[in-house]
Chain A
């Protein structure tokens, strides 16, 4: 049967609020009697705080109070925690008593206006005893004298292995090694970080936050403030972009504390510099990758050693070291594989999750390396990949779980055709100033937490007496269109217009449980839950209709929001009529709820193709063509899927060519504004041609998989490979800035 709503590009339900400027983001919110907070960030990369003098600031008219580490609870926490009881090293405090990076939180002012708070922050005098700083992991590992945390600078080491690569190296026909680095980047959501907190006389604190997981926020806030969970209410506010940047509990515990300490609502909005330095960054990595291959290009063994720059606090680095490892095992069939990661503290901004949680790093490493192998063996990069890629329903060698309907080969075939790969390969290279190059990369990213963590989500669906509905969830729409997609799923199942459905997002008090909007799991897990709860409601409707029609459900038919006894369509009754009648006559409430847990760990795949033009006199790279093919199972809303991919490609092009938060060896950030931290703007973006492979994924609603993160995964290496193809180079250090390119060309 043709689908009526699923598979259609309906506009996002909240678009109208956004185009009319009526969407209220956290920074737009106003509560009576509200105060404004402003942070004082450390200007030194590493130093002991000798003295803080807050008198001048506190004496300013309009300043309510200045808080330093001495005034806040001395409870360590880990901002990355996203469910209650999760056990991870806790190294952060609301405010630090030692500066560990430029951007560390030293003090906070609460004042009657934002302007006063900003002025007061400047009046705080801090004396630091500067300590030597370690700003790269290698230094930090050696540096005995620089201990960023009491236990030393080594945060963690982890190893995974399948087979026995050691036994393969000696006899291998070809062994190729590369050292590949990926930069520390900024999420660059247009909305900076913000949080609003207020407390009620009964001691409950309410927090509005553009977060990705209200229950993680609640767990952290409750822990730091020593409150019962039901005294912390977290409401997901509209999100002006996150990309993982707002996934951790960064501002909420502090803002909640300030609201309790002052007894008044407190709004904390970071500026751009603070958001770049004092929130989270994409983890910078340096990896050595070594592969054994046969002369015809079959991968036999692989070894990867990665060093992860955690920055100054633990956050997710211990976990991402593991996640990155697992991600290495899901793209190619390699019988013998070893992965080792070392996560290290440095005196730099803290690393955290950033769209696809390590996958872009992993993908840059494997895919740039794959092209090196192809060049070395004289093979076509597409052919080389086709020889080694996983097949549908292969098993992840590490966990033993099925990869699901892994359609990466289809992506590669489609992409090569649409991109004109073979024609472009045969085109003779231009001489002169501009050189053209083409590149391809494949990528993978899982779309649930199955087997790794709890992967729960609950929803309730209520039908009102007129047939309109409210779907209550614990989910967070980041602007990707999730709530609309859920409405499409429910609408499809109930055969009604999606506009009849309100979708409520996360609220720890009024909403239902969900572990959080991470891991591209919302469509696969959340969408499946929505489908399940819709089915349950339909059952209830049929059951109640049967009573009203004095028959049994098997004799009923449904369509277009109506129910009738088969053969008597003219006497159909609308859902609303049935609800209203059944509430009166049968005393039933039309609310159903369900909990869904994923039962598999399918992986989303993609193949990206880039064509670049490199100006060999200046090193400037322009991306002139881009094809992105994605294995999405089924696109619930193709327009949203394309939108995710366009944005992902933009981020990937930035990762390949422009973006890096640069920190001097002394720990001083060099580009803490958009003036020097380049986000790709409209004229730099090529037209991206998107193609979808829709072959269905069991367990996903209507066969859908997630796409939000995979969208960005292969983009950067595709661009890097295109540059290497254009120039005959083997660039392995992102971003490929013009200066880097030129320096290499000059070496000859």
Chain B
């Protein structure tokens, strides 16, 4: 008697057809840093573990022209070791630096982070600020989903049961200023109470465009679009920042949980927005 089964496709194609056949019974297993704790916590049972961890097609970081593409199996450690990420996606690199701890980073994949759809996902937030697009495949073909549209609720994503995230890509953010702040109760090995990523295009001391993504402040990671609009085209000074940090609180819906209260998270949002922008500009 056992509620789990296991299958290890050898190619992406095989994986897609397995997913197709199994439908909702399939549970994709990548780095398993979520899957195994979920099994232990009995949040997961009665499924076929589809082990994609050795699929070469899903590995590697590619830079093509102005686009960086991360295979869904790219680990957080690989992001940290990538020069392309460090220079052209600094916000993601900074997030990787504070993701979990060095050991977990060796296993945790970016695809797993996206699919896991945690409101606090530290891979999701910077990618959202980079305007990333997620490539999803099933036996019928490929579709691209803007990362912002991937999530439907805490732990819920818009993937169909037979779909596999194969990659996530974004434009190289070469001429931008960016910053990622993770606020947790300790420096490492802490789940974000609030996280924020900002990516900005500036012109002298004017801010042309900014993308702001927030973690742990709503049922899913979110963009703060009203605040982005408010800041776009502005000269950044204390007054504007003050305004923005008030406005941003209206764009989120944090909850109270064991880690922090709603009020505290709201407060942090304003504080971290200011800090993130100031640090990015500094």
B259 touches A676 (CB 8 A): yes
Shortest distance from the beta carbon of A41 to any chain B beta carbon, whole Å? 13
A225 within 8 A of B: no
B106 within 8 A of A: no
Shortest distance from the beta carbon of A427 to any chain B beta carbon, whole Å? 25
Residues of A within 8 A of B188 (CB): 681, 683
B271 touches A739 (CB 8 A): no
B190 touches A678 (CB 8 A): yes
B1 touches A738 (CB 8 A): no
A683 touches B185 (CB 8 A): no
Residues of B within 8 A of A670 (CB): 258
- What CA separation (Å) do A738 and B261 show in the bound complex? 11
A737 within 8 A of B: yes
B267 touches A675 (CB 8 A): no
A739 touches B187 (CB 8 A): no
A737 touches B268 (CB 8 A): no
> Which residue on chain B has the smallest CB distance to residue A746?
B267
Contacting A675 at CB < 8 Å: which of B42, B191, B260?
A: B191
- What CA separation (Å) do A600 and B1 show in the bound complex? 62
Contacting B268 at CB < 8 Å: which of A122, A618, A680?
A: A618
A129 within 8 A of B: no
Q: How large is the interface on B (under 10, 10 to 19, 20 to 34, 35 or more residues)?
A: 20 to 34
The 9 closest A-B pairs by CB, nearest first: A670-B258, A739-B264, A617-B271, A683-B187, A684-B186, A676-B258, A671-B258, A681-B189, A739-B260
B183 within 8 A of A: yes
A684 touches B187 (CB 8 A): yes
> Which residue on chain A has the smallest CB distance to residue B264?
A739
- What CA separation (Å) do A653 and B172 show in the bound complex? 43
A119 within 8 A of B: yes
Residues of B within 8 A of A676 (CB): 191, 258-259
Residues of A within 8 A of B275 (CB): 617
Contacting B185 at CB < 8 Å: which of A122, A737, A746?
A: A737
A742 within 8 A of B: yes
Contacts A122-B42, A618-B268; A683 near B1 (Cβ below 8 A): no
B258 touches A678 (CB 8 A): no
Within 8 A of A (CB), among B237-266: 258-261, 263-264
Q: How many A-B residue pairs have CB under 8 A?
A: 43
- What CA separation (Å) do A662 and B259 show in the bound complex? 10
Residue among A676, A681, A737, A739 with the highest chain B CB neighbour number at 10 A: A739
Could you list 25 examples of A-B contacts with CB < 8 Å?
Answer: A119-B1, A122-B42, A617-B271, A617-B275, A618-B183, A618-B268, A620-B183, A658-B185, A662-B258, A675-B191, A676-B258, A676-B259, A678-B186, A680-B186, A681-B186, A681-B188, A683-B186, A683-B187, A684-B186, A684-B187, A737-B185, A739-B260, A743-B263, A743-B264, A746-B267
A742 touches B185 (CB 8 A): no
Within 8 A of B (CB), among A650-694: 658, 662, 670-671, 675-676, 678, 680-681, 683-684
B264 touches A738 (CB 8 A): yes
Residues of A within 8 A of B258 (CB): 662, 670-671, 676
- Please list the residues of chain A having a beta carbon within 8 angstroms of any beta carbon in chain B: 60-61, 119, 122, 617-618, 620, 658, 662, 670-671, 675-676, 678, 680-681, 683-684, 737-739, 742-743, 746
- What CA separation (Å) do A544 and B189 show in the bound complex? 63
Q: Mark B24-56, 1 if CB is under 8 A from A, else 0.
A: 000000000000000000100000000000000
Residues of A within 8 A of B267 (CB): 742, 746
- What CA separation (Å) do A618 and B274 show in the bound complex? 12
- What CA separation (Å) do A742 and B264 show in the bound complex? 8
Residues of A within 8 A of B259 (CB): 676
Residue among B42, B186, B188, B190 with the highest chain A CB neighbour number at 10 A: B186
What 9 new A-B contacts, CB under 8 Å, besides A60-B1, A658-B185? Answer: A61-B1, A119-B1, A122-B42, A618-B183, A618-B268, A620-B183, A671-B258, A676-B258, A738-B185
Residues of A within 8 A of B190 (CB): 678
Within 8 A of A (CB), among B161-215: 183, 185-191
Residues of A within 8 A of B185 (CB): 620, 658, 678, 737-738
Shortest distance from the beta carbon of B52 to any chain A beta carbon, whole Å? 25
Residues of B within 8 A of A678 (CB): 185-186, 190
Residues of A within 8 A of B189 (CB): 681
Within 8 A of A (CB), among B110-162: none
Shortest distance from the beta carbon of A26 to any chain B beta carbon, whole Å? 21
- What CA separation (Å) do A680 and B188 show in the bound complex? 10
Q: Mark B69-100, 1 if CB is under 8 A from A, else 0.
A: 00000000000000000000000000000000
Residues of B within 8 A of A662 (CB): 258
Residues of A within 8 A of B183 (CB): 618, 620
Residues of B within 8 A of A743 (CB): 263-264
- What CA separation (Å) do A658 and B187 show in the bound complex? 13
- What CA separation (Å) do A670 and B190 show in the bound complex? 16
- What CA separation (Å) do A670 and B259 show in the bound complex? 9
> Which residue on chain B has the smallest CB distance to residue A616?
B271
> Which residue on chain B has the smallest CB distance to residue A622?
B187
Residue among B1, B42, B191, B263 with the highest chain A CB neighbour number at 10 A: B1
- What CA separation (Å) do A122 and B42 show in the bound complex? 10
Shortest distance from the beta carbon of B102 to any chain A beta carbon, whole Å? 11
B261 touches A739 (CB 8 A): yes
- What CA separation (Å) do A484 and B275 show in the bound complex? 52
Residues of B within 8 A of A618 (CB): 183, 268, 271
> Which residue on chain A has the smallest CB distance to residue B101?
A681
> Which residue on chain B has the smallest CB distance to residue A62?
B1
Residues of B within 8 A of A683 (CB): 186-188
- What CA separation (Å) do A716 and B126 show in the bound complex? 37
- What CA separation (Å) do A468 and B260 show in the bound complex? 59
> Which residue on chain B has the smallest CB distance to residue A669?
B258
Shortest distance from the beta carbon of B185 to any chain A beta carbon, whole Å? 6
- What CA separation (Å) do A79 and B250 show in the bound complex? 53
Residues of B within 8 A of A746 (CB): 267
- What CA separation (Å) do A122 and B41 show in the bound complex? 12
Shortest distance from the beta carbon of B56 to any chain A beta carbon, whole Å? 32
> Which residue on chain A has the smallest CB distance to residue B267?
A742
Residues of A within 8 A of B268 (CB): 618
A658 touches B186 (CB 8 A): yes
Shortest distance from the beta carbon of A218 to any chain B beta carbon, whole Å? 35
Shortest distance from the beta carbon of A654 to any chain B beta carbon, whole Å? 10
- What CA separation (Å) do A746 and B263 show in the bound complex? 11
- What CA separation (Å) do A746 and B268 show in the bound complex? 13
> Which residue on chain A has the smallest CB distance to residue B260?
A739
Q: Mark B1-29, 1 if CB is under 8 A from A, else 0.
A: 10000000000000000000000000000
Residues of A within 8 A of B264 (CB): 738-739, 742-743
Residues of B within 8 A of A658 (CB): 185-186
Shortest distance from the beta carbon of A266 to any chain B beta carbon, whole Å? 23
Shortest distance from the beta carbon of A421 to any chain B beta carbon, whole Å? 27
